[in-house]
Structure 1
Amino acid sequence: MSSVLGKSLAIIELLVNHPAGLTVSAIASEIDQPASGVHRTLQELARLGYVRQAQAQGDYALTIKLPAMGVGFLGRAGITDVAQPVLDELAAHSGELIRLSVIDGDRLTWVAVAQGATRGLRYDPGQEQGVVVHLASSAGGKAWLSSMSDEEALSLVSGQGLLRQAEGTGPNAPRSLTLLLEQLAEARALGYATAVDSYIAGMAAMAVPVRYHGHGQVLGCLSIAGPAVRMTAERMAVLAPKLQAAAVELGEAASGSQYFQAVVKAVEPASGMERKTA
């Protein structure tokens, strides 16, 4: 990583995961860059309003500028306006955490959430909006992979990595491509993908693809997640029709989002190359 832009983005991406801030030396160590160069980049980012230093010689942290830009983009693109009412209704019905992820090239990113659980045991990570979904271990990721051929799915997984490189990865995360392909086949048969003790230990989720107008291009995935002791296979089967109906509703409403319209138009000339279900 040698470009000024690359170094700046590496620092920003690191600080996203450290809201309280980091020292110059810690940042330099994490991104494997000289402290002197990191300090110069931080000062330029501070001048532009993207980072702040609490006090002289203190830690550097992100300002609200970049998150505000992201929220503003989602609002102006029409994603939250289209999705939030549907997510809120599904959360109220299920009493669990609802998440919408959208496809951006070869990545799947969580962009909207609604929490249905108001008391007792619940799954509420609170920091996943804007996070790139790990495909092989998450229900949303497997829902997307199940919408394409096995060859395309394996290509995406090999690019991202079969195993999630983070603490808390669940014990049931698929550790072989053969097992992953079996889970994708099961998702196609059921009509929804599942992940139990896979993305995070103790958490279970189910997800379906969101297709433009219900049957067109896959735009993202909609999921229900909660404690594994509550999100049993039997309960998932009961929730499946409501989840699938909500995904269809989102797909129908997607024409009201400038972002989704642009995504669909971008692939129309190459519609013959659209991903196909295996």
Structure 2
Amino acid sequence: MVNSLVERCFALVELLAPEASAMRLGEIAERLGIQKSAAHRMLTVLHEIGWVEQDSTTGFYKLTLRLAILGQRFLSSTRLTDVCQPALEELAANSAELVRMAVVQGETLTWISQIQGAQHGLKYQPELVATVRLTATANGKAYLATLSDHEALRIALNSPDGKSSVGSVEDFMKDLNLNKKRGWAISVEEAEPGVVAIAAPIALAEGPVVGTVSVAGPSSRLTSDRYDSIASAVQSTARQLGELWPLRMRSGTSAVN
């Protein structure tokens, strides 16, 4: 009973996390598959402890900034962004485009860092969301390509935008195998109109994939004649990040000891 309640509370928090605007009680209950009374009880508790706030005019609910603040505190304590920052800055400077890094969280990716390398002209500024769209973004494709065919297809189809963006299974598998063979993935105006992105997975020496890194920019500037050079630079940075990643682990361990 307790575990079920805890799971529902976290499911509620995860539901509200991607929503910048408030959500009505009925929609929350419907999307969680529970009764309105049960959803209301959870929202009341979360409101009392400062995780959720209710709009006094509409009665709709949304998360407070407490989750974001705790997330930033945790990220800061890992020193992950500090350790990886120089490599990301170098890639951004050399490519003169937007560089982003995401980390593996369960069976998905979460954005944690971005650096704008474009100094002049049109600059790509992505939508401020936490979760990476696995089937439409270069980062998502690069991550899926590190999995077995079965796992990649299962996760892709179960992702929020999976069934609408995967297309045919044959096309998905063809793209997946190509990404596996070359070690990087590309998204040409799939995630956003007018935007091209190239990404590679970040893997530790022991083998596990811990994240992805990408370069993205306007399709008018990130043209096909740049794909190979950008991909090579992204892969090089991914390897560098894979070597740096364990330093963060050891640093955290020594700090505790």
TM-score (norm 1): 0.77
CA distance in 2: counterparts of 1:118 and 1:15, whole angstroms = 35
How has the CA–CA distance of structure 1 residues 261 and 216 changed in structure 2, closer, same or farther, with 3 Å as cutoff? farther
How has the CA–CA distance of structure 1 residues 19 and 189 changed in structure 2, closer, same or farther, with 3 Å as cutoff? closer
CA distance in 1: counterparts of 2:248 and 2:106, whole angstroms = 18
2:154 counterpart residue number: 158
CA distance in 1: counterparts of 2:241 and 2:175, whole angstroms = 25
Let me know the Cα RMSD of the aligned residues. 3.1
Matched, 1:49 2:50: yes
2:123 counterpart residue number: 122
Show the 5 A alignment for 1:196-235.
Answer: 196-213=188-205, 216-235=207-226
| Structure 2 letter corresponding to 1:159 | I
CA distance in 2: counterparts of 1:122 and 1:161, whole angstroms = 32
2:139 counterpart residue number: 140
CA distance in 2: counterparts of 1:36 and 1:147, whole angstroms = 43
CA distance in 2: counterparts of 1:261 and 1:107, whole angstroms = 24
Per-residue deviation, residues 213-232 of structure 1 (Å, max 9, x unmatched): 4x843222111122233222
Please state whether the residue corresponding to 1:123 is helix, strand or coil: coil
| Number of residues of Structure 1 aligned to a counterpart in Structure 2 | 252
Deviation of 1:261 (Å): 8.7
How has the CA–CA distance of structure 1 residues 56 and 40 changed in structure 2, closer, same or farther, with 3 Å as cutoff? farther
Deviation of 1:209 (Å): 1.5
Judge conservation of contact 2:97–2:116 (CA < 8 Å) in 1. yes
Judge conservation of contact 1:86–1:246 (CA < 8 Å) in 2. yes
Please state whether the residue corresponding to 2:232 is helix, strand or coil: helix
Deviation of 1:119 (Å): 5.2
| Structure 2 letter corresponding to 1:200 | E
How has the CA–CA distance of structure 1 residues 6 and 87 changed in structure 2, closer, same or farther, with 3 Å as cutoff? same
Per-residue deviation, residues 109-139 of structure 1 (Å, max 9, x unmatched): 322222223554333224233x1x3433321
1:249 counterpart residue number: 240
CA distance in 1: counterparts of 2:106 and 2:38, whole angstroms = 32
How has the CA–CA distance of structure 1 residues 259 and 109 changed in structure 2, closer, same or farther, with 3 Å as cutoff? farther
Deviation of 1:249 (Å): 1.6
The alignment-based identity, stated in percent, is: 32
Deviation of 1:66 (Å): 0.9
Give the stretch that moved more between structures: 220-229 or 178-187: 178-187
Judge conservation of contact 1:195–1:206 (CA < 8 Å) in 2. yes
2:59 counterpart residue number: 58
Deviation of 1:254 (Å): 0.7
Matched, 1:237 2:228: yes
Please state whether the residue corresponding to 2:191 is helix, strand or coil: coil
Show the 5 A alignment for 1:1-278.
Answer: 3-55=4-56, 58-118=59-119, 120-129=121-130, 131=131, 133-148=132-147, 152-161=148-157, 165=161, 173-213=165-205, 216-258=207-249
Structure 2: give runs of 5+ residues left out of the alignment.
Answer: none
CA distance in 2: counterparts of 1:194 and 1:259, whole angstroms = 33
CA distance in 2: counterparts of 1:191 and 1:22, whole angstroms = 40
Judge conservation of contact 1:12–1:62 (CA < 8 Å) in 2. yes
Deviation of 1:260 (Å): 11
TM-score (norm 2): 0.82
